[in-house]
Structures are given as structure tokens and as C-alpha cells.
Amino acid sequence: MRGLATKRLDTLDEAIIAAGLKDGATISFHHHLRNGDRVLNAVLDRLARAGLRGLHLSATSLFPVHAPLVEHIRNGVVDRISTSYISGPVGEAISQGLLPTPVRLTTHGGRARAIESDEAPIDVAFVAACAADEMGNLSGRTGRAPCGTLGYPMVDVEHAAKVVAVTDTLVPYPLCPIDIAQDKVDYVVKIDAIGDPGGIVSGATRPAADPQSLAIAANTAAVISASGLLVDGFAFQTGAGGISLATAEAVGREMAARGVTGSFACGGITGFHVDMLEAGLFRSLLDVQCFDLKAVASFAHNPNHMAMSAAMYAGPHVGGAVVDRLSAVVLGAAEVDLDFNVNVTTRSGGGIIGGSGGHADAAQGASLTLVTTRLTAAGWAKIVPKVTTLTTPGSSVDVVVTEAGVAVNPRRVDLIERFKSTDLRILSIEDIAQDARRLASKPTPDRPVGPIVAVSQYRDGSIIDEIRATAPP
Amino acid sequence: MRGLATKRLDTLDEAIIAAGLKDGATISFHHHLRNGDRVLNAVLDRLARAGLRGLHLSATSLFPVHAPLVEHIRNGVVDRISTSYISGPVGEAISQGLLPTPVRLTTHGGRARAIESDEAPIDVAFVAACAADEMGNLSGRTGRAPCGTLGYPMVDVEHAAKVVAVTDTLVPYPLCPIDIAQDKVDYVVKIDAIGDPGGIVSGATRPAADPQSLAIAANTAAVISASGLLVDGFAFQTGAGGISLATAEAVGREMAARGVTGSFACGGITGFHVDMLEAGLFRSLLDVQCFDLKAVASFAHNPNHMAMSAAMYAGPHVGGAVVDRLSAVVLGAAEVDLDFNVNVTTRSGGGIIGGSGGHADAAQGASLTLVTTRLTAAGWAKIVPKVTTLTTPGSSVDVVVTEAGVAVNPRRVDLIERFKSTDLRILSIEDIAQDARRLASKPTPDRPVGPIVAVSQYRDGSIIDEIRATAPP
């Protein structure tokens, strides 16, 4: 009797050996488990103990939970990082110059492009799988801490030299339904827990309710309403923040009133988007990552709630990604400047607090790109002469919406003309910047001048800005 | 207003130019539309008119409907062919030496291996899509002639330099649900009809009812019953032929009687397999290609009826494919020889009438490989001293089942021992061959001695036999 094939290994250590990991290798991780992720820390701990050095960490995003990475950088286990987003202690440490080489801050679509074009090859991709069978079929729908779609590792598993799936829930073969198929996976390792369910998804995503946010949301919805785009087939992306959701709520009311059926909502998906799908406001959801449990449940059961890979979502190299079909996208900002450039990467005055994620991708793709921002935050002006860090070029930002009014990019003469006959409060970006400066209690800080600690890489691969250390290393 | 992205082109001619097709290029096609396919002929017609020459045709299978290919070979439009199966006029013409280079006859899994390892690169993959949107999301579930899963092109679209989707049913963006995603597709062309529904799927697949077939089926089921494998988790593949289905029916009865729940049935899937799924005899179906409309409908609606790519199904390079988890597979034969070698590629005495498809893949993967055959067909013995063409080596064939009795491969001492206590009619393969020779009215022909017209390539890439011309070219 021939033995049954299996890809299961007993420990991460065995997988590290089987995958042939060597000093200097590139290892990749995804962030569907967000601030509840335990897989990146567990793997790096074993790599450090195995004595590996000089690794290149390619992670779709890094969160506060990944604080132990600081020690691995200090010890030389990791000396290069590529990622689309960093928040928490890792960002702080890098901002102070801990990493010997500048972090490459990509966009979600740009990361997919770099991987698929072999510009950024991956030696071993580690996939946190909510459930798996021993042949490597993976699911994000079931298990102890379901996270929904697996849009980011879908790219990595197709291109990595080796793929290690890490799960806490092994199911009998074959797992069903399959989100990532066994022919893309080399090894399967079971650990005690891949994540902390409390950190993986926010309990509930809610629209903002404070007057300032509601004013911004109302202005944003009014711009969309007046744009001519709010017709059957409307395609929409918003973030999961309070202003975005309040905007979506207002847009949804307008769609219902006009009897408009949208084609899709996309991006990270929340229960709020699920409600819009179920209310018939959109025909489908295209979901690269679920942001809450309602979205996870919807993805598991509703065939109109579809997964998409990061390449399909935002790749600038696929001849037309989902973002290229967006009618409108509503994006946030840490800073906006007089050229409509947006910074979502650093604080004013420096210090990494985020990164593009899909910001620059959706901005370039959408027919109408709206950036919402309060005039000030914590005493700082958010509309500034020049952004501290360029994340998304102003050439792909059409409208900036604040509680004080709306500024239209002068390049969009069509919109300026169209909005003349509305009661939108249209201001120049300079006027809005002046309002912000007037309201601010602190002066806008200068750009830091320390050594370069990171570069801002646009979706096409070009370096569009550098991030400098906030304090000497 | 930025224009909406689209991958749609108006004609195949535009797609040929856009894809950069040149003399000598490799073009690929899949056979989900089987003998109803109109896409391969339509594309080759345009390529011929465009004056292209020396093309390499990589097709998962070729059917009688592809007869116009003979003319394209004669005219030098196509001068190389790689495929896993050929029936009809193309096989006849090749057998007579029409093609200037030997056809490479692969297995389904071996073809996937060659493509994924860059041994067999594809310049342009043409995908017949039952429905598509203008960004290249493709479905096999809907449209005018649904074919079900798209397991074969799933491999091609990931590796071809360019992918052209050809459809007769364009739907609004985004198509839903998606079987092949837009980031894998470069161009979308709409033509009048991609296929003739009557030829795509057989109306109904039925178990055989004649006494000889029923005897073989009963013997096959009895071998499986006695094998020790018919326990919970049993995994099964059968073909869509009458004997296979009669065997499946008998095995299903035994499973129900024993209260056994199988893990999966796989391969090409028929309504018969769907019935077994719905009756709870199997937990899931893994489907590389639907063989009838009932399977198509089941795939469209039942999440336990899952698509799989040719690589996942049968790839020898993926560290464990679905075939490697098969408990038992029931396969057919044109000839079987005294070493348990099987020929499903040519007639006795030569002449290409088929090819491995997944035959050699499943045979090597399964724990128990059964080959069923009548003793004779049309007066010829089917158990012969040496097969005319080696498709599947006897080393991966465990049991040969005929209406006269059962021969167990001497390598399987475990089975021989186990079957001693049963009332199976166990014979030596020599005894069965003698029975066949006695029944045959015609002498077994010699292997042809003409020039080599094709090679039989095993799943690992090794050439295990050559096929020679049946008549001088």
C-alpha cells in the first residue's frame, strides 16, 4: 500500500529547514490577522533561534503587535524591510534609524507588481491560514479566528520559491471551500494559535457621529452626488474609518433616493458594505481583506461577496485592475498640501505612522478621488504648504473635502465647471490652508534632516520621496 | 473625467496583433468545450489569414471538431503540437506523418508541470470563456453554453506571456462569481459563438447495462470492497464511460451499506458523481472539468463541488496533488500487456486515437489503480504481449479487471495476500491474455515501423515511447 501524501511538518523549525531558509533570504507575511497576528512573531522567533541573519522581511503591513521585530532588527536577524504600512513600535524604531537600510514603503498594488515582475522575489512566503488541510488547501472562512478573504497572500503564494502555511485549525482533506489551493503550498505547520481573535477584526465598524465628521461626510457625499458619476454601475471604495463610513451612508441614501444600483464596492470590506450589498445598492463586493466579522460571515456565504488578490485589486501592471474601474474613492490624509499631494505615511515633522496601503493605487485608478480631512488635528494644521512625506501625488487627487469647504484640483476643469451650478462651498486649496493655519495652535514642523530611514515607492516602482530619521540613531 | 479601463478588443485579428503573435510562437487552448469547441478553429483561421507560420499548438486535448487543423498543418501554419489527447481526423493525419515534427503527447499533470517549470512556455493562451466582463473576469458557469469549471486554462493563464479571452457572452462589470480573475487576462474578444452546446457536454452519462460491462463493473467494485480502502475518507476517481459509472454505482451501494462517507470524488465530473455527493456518499467533489450539464449546474450552486486546476489535480511537481490522495482510481485501456503496461494512446497496430489525459497521473497517484478492459474488442485481443504504445507504465497499475477475472500486479504482494480469503476470481495476467487471444478473431498486429510521428511523454517529462507512422507520409 502506498502511503498517503502529506505536506504536514510538525514544527516551524522543520519548515524553516525544509524550505531551505538561509541568511539574507526574503521572507513574506500578510496582515489579514492585523493587530491580532501571532504568526510573524512566532516565525521570526524561530528564525532568530536558528541563528539566521540579514533577512529581508516583506510584509504587507506591520502593526503594534509586531513590536518584537524591533529586537530582531537590533540583533541583525532582519536588516531589510519592504512593506505597505507600519504602525506602532516598529515604525518608531525605524524612524529613529534602527534599521541599517531604508525601508521600502510600497503600495499594495506596487508590492504585487514588484513580486509578479520578479523585481522583488520571495524565498519563503509564510501564510497564516485560518484553516488548512494537510495538503495545503487553505481557508480564511473557518477555524478558530476566521479573517475572511486571503487577498494579499494570493499573490505571494504564486511567486514565492517556497510556501509555508501556518494554521491552528487542521481539517480533514479536502478542506472546503478552498481559498488558496494546495498546489501553491509546500508545507503545512500547525501551531497553538495563529492569532488573537480580538485583534484580528474590530468588533463593529460605525459611521462617525460628531458634527465635524458629519459635515465632512455630507460635503463628500454632495461632491459625489454632483459629479455625474452617481448612476447605475457606480463603483465605490471607502475606508473603514468613521468619516468614510458616514460618507458611504450619505451616498447610500442618495443612491436609494435616485434608484441607482452600483456595480461594486471594493477594498477592505466592513459590515457596512455588506449592508449596502444586501440592500441592493451594489451588485457585488470585491474584497481584498475583511475588516470585521460581519464581512467575514458575508464572504463565507454570499457568492456576490467575492475575494480578490492584491494584484487584481490594485496592480498597475495587469492592464486594468479593480481600482481602474472605480467611479469614486474616499481616502483619508495625515497631511494635504497646496499641490493636492497627500501624506499618509508620517506625522507632520516625521515619524512613520502608516503608509500607502492601497491609497496611491485607488487614487490613481478612480475616476473621482476625494481626500477627506479635518482642518487641524491635535493643534496641527493638516493642510500645509508641503507634505512632510509624499505618499500620493496631487496629480491623482481631484477634490479635498474639509469641514470648511471643498477644494477642487485645478487640473479638473470639468469638475470646477460642473460644480458652479451647485451649492457646494468651493474654496481654493490656499484658502483652506489659510483656514487651517488660523485654527492651528502649533506651527507646522520642518521636514526632518536626519539620515534616510525609508523611501516612498510609487506603485510603478519609482521612488517619490525619502523619509528621514526624526532623531539621531 | 478619466476614461474607464477596458481590455475589450473588437476582433480576434486585433487581439492577435495586440498579443504580439509572431511566426513560431506557442499558442495554447483548452478543451472544456470538447467536441463543441469553436474557438480553436476560429483563432487558427484568423492566424492563417494573417499569414503566420510555424506555430506551436499547445492544446489540452483535440477532438474531431478540430478537423480544420489538418489543413493548417498542411499549409505550415502549425508545425508543432503538444497535447494530452487527440481523437478524430487530426490524429489520423498525424498518424500518417503529416506533421513535420513529432507530437508531444503529455499527461494533464505533466503538461501543467512543463508549463509551470518554464520547460514549455506559452506565448499566447486563448481561453474560451462561457461568460466574461470587459476587464477579463471569466466564468464557466453562465453564458449561452456553460461548461462548468475551467481547470485547464487556470494553469495557462498564470504562465502565458499574454492571455486572450474569447467569449460570446459579455456581462456588465464585474462578472460574478469569478472563475478566472481579470489580472490574469490581457484582452477580451467577443465572437458570435464559442461553442455548440450539443457538442460541449453529453446529454446524460449513464452506467453501462450490458452483461459483459456489468460483470467487469461488479468485479471492479468487489476488488475495491476487498482492498481495505473502502472506509471513511475513501477518495475515488472514475471516468465517464459506462463501465466506470457502473462500477461507481456498485461502489456507492457498498458505501451506503457499510455507512462509509468518502472524502472526495475527483477528475472529470458527471451527474452521476453529483448524485453521490448529494446522497452524502462523498463530502466533496474536486472537478477539473464537467462532463455533463448536471455537473455544470452542481458546480454553479454547490460549494462542496469545487474547481481545481490541472496542476492541483495531477501535477507531479506540486509536492502532492489531488491524485496523490486517491484511494482508488478506475481507468480504461485500449490495450494492456503482460507487464501491466497500458495503452490509451493508439489502436493496436498504431494510429493515434487518444492519449493519457489524466490516466498516467491518476494511476501513479492512487493507492489502488484498477484498469478495466474487455478481453477483446472488434475481434482484437485487448490483453497483448506488449502494448503498441506505452501510455501508463505497469509499475503504477495494481489490478487489471476483465469479464473473465482479475489479475493482480505481482508487485502488490499485499493485495495478493489480502484477496486470498475472498471469492474474487484471481488469474494471472498471462492466463487472461491467453483467454483474450483465444476469443480474438484477428491476430494482434505488429507495431508500425514508419517514421516517428509522436512521442509519449510521462508526467515527469521523460519520453517513454515513440509512436510511428501507420502509412508512409
Last residue of a domain, one of B132, B166, B200: B200
Report pLDDT digits (tens) over A387-420: 999 999 999 999 999 999 999 999 999 999 999 9
* A461: in domain: no
Residues A234 and A345 occupy one common structural domain: yes
Taking Cα atoms as reference points, which of B154, B169, B109 lies closest to residue B458?
A: B109
**Contact criterion met (CB < 8 Å) for A174 and B321:** no
Residues B127 and B222 occupy one common structural domain: no
Task: State the nearest Cα–Cα gap between A168 and chain B, in angstroms.
Answer: 21
For residue B199, the model assigns a pLDDT of 81
Of A177, A303, A308, the CB nearest to B306: A177
Q: What is the spatial distance between Cα B472 and Cα A94, in angstroms, rounded to a whole number?
A: 74
**Contact criterion met (CB < 8 Å) for B312 and A4:** no
Residues B77 and B218 occupy one common structural domain: no
For residue A197, the model assigns a pLDDT of 76
Q: What is the spatial distance between Cα B51 and Cα B49, in angstroms, rounded to a whole number?
A: 5
Residues A145 and A285 occupy one common structural domain: no
* A205: in domain: no
* B266: in domain: yes
* Residue in A182, A224, A304, A317 to test binding to B, most B beta-carbons within 10 Å: A182
**Contact criterion met (CB < 8 Å) for A4 and B325:** yes
What cell does B456 get? 509519449
* B458: in domain: no
* Whole-prediction pTM: 0.96
Any CB–CB contact under 8 A between A319 and chain B? yes
Last residue of a domain, one of A200, A223, A258: A200
Q: Tally A–B CB contacts below 8 A.
A: 117
Read off the DSSP letter of residue B141.
S
The alpha carbon of B133 is separated from its chain's Cα centroid by a whole number of angstroms, namely 28
Residues B128 and B274 occupy one common structural domain: no
* A462: in domain: no
Task: State the nearest Cα–Cα gap between B325 and chain A, in angstroms.
Answer: 6
Residues A181 and A217 occupy one common structural domain: no
Nearest CA in chain A to B396: A2
* Residue in B150, B156, B183 to test binding to A, most A beta-carbons within 10 Å: B183
* Residue A99 phi, psi dihedral angles, 5° rounding: -80, 135
Owning domain of residue B414: 211-447
Contacts (Cβ under 8 Å, ≥6 apart) of B302: B274, B277, B278
Residue A473 has pLDDT above 50, yes or no: no
Residues A163 and A238 occupy one common structural domain: no
Residues of A in contact with B177 (CB under 8 A): 303-304, 306
Q: What is the spatial distance between Cα B101 and Cα B78, in angstroms, rounded to a whole number?
A: 10
Residues A216 and A343 occupy one common structural domain: yes
Q: Chain A 360-419, CB below 8 Å of chain B: which residues?
A: 365, 367, 414
- Given pLDDT bands bounded at 50, 70 and 90, which one contains residue A1? very low
Looking at the DSSP bridge assignments, the partners of residue A317 are none
For residue B472, the model assigns a pLDDT of 54
Any CB–CB contact under 8 A between B20 and chain A? no
Any CB–CB contact under 8 A between B304 and chain A? yes
What cell does A234 get? 457606480
Residues of B in contact with A182 (CB under 8 A): 312, 318, 320-322
Q: What is the spatial distance between Cα A54 and Cα A67, in angstroms, rounded to a whole number?
A: 18
Residues B230 and B137 occupy one common structural domain: no
Q: In angstroms, what CA-CA distances link A267 with A115, A249, A289, B182?
A: 20, 16, 7, 16
Residues of B in contact with A365 (CB under 8 A): 5
For residue A327, the model assigns a pLDDT of 98
Q: Give the residue-averaged pLDDT of A67-94.
A: 98
Q: Give the residue-averaged pLDDT of A43-63.
A: 98
* A232: in domain: yes
For residue A204, the model assigns a pLDDT of 55
The answer to whether the beta carbons of residues A29 and A207 sit under 8 Å apart is: no
Of A172, A308, A322, the CB nearest to B263: A172
Residues B399 and B316 occupy one common structural domain: yes
- Which position has the higher pLDDT, A242 or A188? A188
pLDDT tens across the length of chain B (473 residues): 456 889 999 999 999 999 999 999 999 999 999 999 999 999 999 999 999 999 999 999 999 999 999 999 999 999 999 999 999 999 999 999 999 999 999 999 999 999 999 999 999 999 999 999 999 999 999 999 899 999 999 999 999 999 999 999 999 999 999 999 999 999 999 999 999 877 876 655 678 889 999 999 999 999 999 999 999 999 999 988 889 999 999 999 999 999 999 999 998 899 999 999 999 999 999 999 999 989 999 999 999 999 999 999 999 999 999 999 999 999 999 999 999 999 999 999 899 999 999 999 999 999 999 999 999 999 999 999 999 999 999 999 999 999 999 999 999 999 999 999 999 999 999 999 999 999 999 999 999 999 999 999 999 999 999 999 996 54
Q: Give the residue-averaged pLDDT of A423-442.
A: 97
Q: What is the spatial distance between Cα B383 and Cα B342, in angstroms, rounded to a whole number?
A: 9
Report pLDDT digits (tens) over B261-290: 999 999 889 999 999 999 999 999 999 999
Task: State the nearest Cα–Cα gap between B90 and chain A, in angstroms.
Answer: 33
Q: In angstroms, what CA-CA distances link B76 with A6, B28, B47, B471?
A: 47, 17, 11, 21
Any CB–CB contact under 8 A between B41 and chain A? no
Any CB–CB contact under 8 A between B18 and chain A? no
* A206: in domain: no
Structurally, chain A folds into a number of domains equal to 2
Q: What is the spatial distance between Cα B257 and Cα A311, in angstroms, rounded to a whole number?
A: 49
Residues A185 and A218 occupy one common structural domain: no
Mean pLDDT, rounded, of chain A: 95
* A154: in domain: yes
Task: State the nearest Cα–Cα gap between B162 and chain A, in angstroms.
Answer: 11
For residue A202, the model assigns a pLDDT of 60
Residues B239 and B194 occupy one common structural domain: no
Q: What is the spatial distance between Cα B71 and Cα B377, in angstroms, rounded to a whole number?
A: 32
**Contact criterion met (CB < 8 Å) for B173 and A325:** yes
Task: State the nearest Cα–Cα gap between A264 and chain B, in angstroms.
Answer: 7
Please report the ipTM that was assigned to this predicted complex. 0.96
- Cα distance between the two ends of chain A: 62
Of B7, B136, B320, the CB nearest to A7: B320
Mean pLDDT, rounded, of chain B: 95
For residue A205, the model assigns a pLDDT of 66
Report pLDDT digits (tens) over A417-429: 999 999 999 999 9
Return the CATH number at A124.
3.40.1080.10
